[in-house]
Amino acid sequence: MPKRTALLLLAAALSAALGFIAARLLFHAPAPVTLPAPNAITLLPSPRTLPGFALRQASGAPLTQDTLKGHWTVVFLGFTHCPDVCPTTLAQLSTAQKQWAALPAATRPRVLFVSADPERDTPELVAGYAHAFHKDSLAATAPAPDLQHFARSLSLVFMKVPGTSGRPDDYSIDHSATLVLLDPQARMAGVVTPPFDIKGLADDLTTLTPANP
């Protein structure tokens, strides 16, 4: 057999073998991990990595991304003097928290209440307020510039609105009512908009929890 022909046959055999190996690897490659389709949560196409933040907790320990890792977290922005939306929402979320109580503590979804009223809401006051609805809630606040930075990173807004009396302590806080979902890597992964389907939210996070990436 001519030397050139032998080389061509050898090259063809090698190409076929490599193609066979590649096909086997492709066929047996693990399928990409996908999250179950939610009912109440609107998941982002890709989770959004958040800039660093450090909120203040009653314990004195800062609340950072590392504090939240390992759990799905429902973030709610409000304030303790809120007359309606905040207590109503925290009461609704406590219903979901009761359902999550059956899940392992190491991966159980959590609620984080962040006060946008640092002038009146100390970390201790915020914690007492949130724990009155459910003892497992996380609670924090921070100086106004840090809160603005944190809120903007989650596409949330808040604004101080003066009252009619002119007194310095007579004011309210207008704030987003949307709930933000952080995944177990503390990335923004989804939102829940009012009116809330709390049963759907509880079911969604119960389903998503075993699928933690």
Per-residue pLDDT of the chain (213 residues; tens, 9 = 90+): 444 433 333 333 334 343 433 334 334 433 444 556 788 999 999 999 999 999 999 999 999 999 999 999 999 999 999 999 999 999 999 999 999 999 999 999 999 999 999 999 999 999 999 999 999 999 999 999 999 999 999 999 999 999 999 899 999 999 999 999 999 999 999 999 999 999 999 999 999 997 554
Q: Positive or negative CA dihedral for 124, 84, 77, 199?
A: positive
82 located within any domain: yes
Q: Are residues 136 and 207 in the same domain?
A: yes
Residues 6+ apart with CB under 8 A from 112: 63, 68, 73, 74, 75, 76, 137, 138, 139, 140
Q: Are residues 24 and 53 in the same domain?
A: no
Structural domain that includes position 153: 42-211
Q: What is the pTM of this model?
A: 0.82
Q: Are residues 25 and 107 in the same domain?
A: no
Q: Are residues 49 and 71 in the same domain?
A: yes
Q: Are residues 172 and 102 in the same domain?
A: yes
37 located within any domain: no
Q: Are residues 76 and 149 in the same domain?
A: yes
What are phi and psi for residue 46, nearest 5 degrees?
Answer: -140, 135
Detail the DSSP E strand segments found in the chain: 42-48, 55-56, 62-63, 73-78, 110-115, 138-140, 158-162, 171-175, 179-182, 188-192
The single residue listed with the structure tokens 């970390």 is: 123
Angstrom distance (rounded) from CA 6 to CA 155: 66
Angstrom distance (rounded) from CA 96 to CA 105: 15
36 located within any domain: no
Q: Are residues 47 and 88 in the same domain?
A: yes
